[in-house]
Amino acid sequence: MEEHRRNSPLSVKVGVITLSDSKYQDFLQGKTDTDLSGQLLKDSLSEVHQVVDYKIIPDDPPELISTLEAMKGKGAEVIITTGGTGIGSRDKTIETLKPLFGKKLDGFGEIFRYESYKELGAGAILSRAMAGVYDSTLIFALPGSPNAVKLGLKIIQPELGHLVRHIKE
């Protein structure tokens, strides 16, 4: 594993998508400071990686798919979404992404829920965080809260280059 990490890219191209009806409405009204989770992803990832695109979109499956395609077109090797992973009627991120995945990375969701459980207790069962590979692009779906994003980054960031290396094999 260490040899693989040493031979992996240090920096990868990343896209960030926030899925939220309310944040999207704020964005349309010129309020760009309400998307704390998306900004956290963008700021943290850009310290090491190249953020090729960042979008705030509504909880809308066709919009999510077109945004994924646009980011892939800009060279995103990894796309991280935040929001739309809950069990509410408008939460459709997981249902949209799951059929796109040629391969799922079940370990990500398992680790995310385990770490959430250590912090939050049984409420962690509400998390549907997941990851998978769509064509040759790695996609992570994180919940919308800033704390969930921080946890996701803690798990994801150290492995991004390593994961991208394996996808390209």
The radius of gyration of the chain's CA atoms, rounded to the nearest angstrom, is 15
Q: What is the pLDDT of residues 21-66, one digit of tens each?
A: 999 999 999 998 999 999 999 999 999 999 999 999 999 999 999 9
- List the chain domain ranges: 12-167
Q: 12-167 — its CATH code?
A: 3.40.980.10
Cα end-to-end distance, the chain, whole Å: 15
pTM, full prediction: 0.94
What is the rounded average pLDDT of the residues 133-161?
Answer: 95
Instruction: Provide CB contacts within 8 A for 74, sequence distance 6+.
Output: 13, 15, 52, 53
Does pLDDT of 9 surpass 70?
no
CA torsion, ordered 57, 115, 46, 39, to nearest 10 deg: 40
Question: pLDDT for 54-112, tens place per residue?
Answer: 999 999 999 999 999 999 999 999 999 999 998 999 999 999 999 999 999 999 999 99
Q: CA dist 70 to 22, 47, 50, 130, Å?
A: 22, 23, 16, 21
Q: How far is CA 80 from CA 1, 29, 35, 39, 84, in A?
A: 24, 24, 14, 12, 12
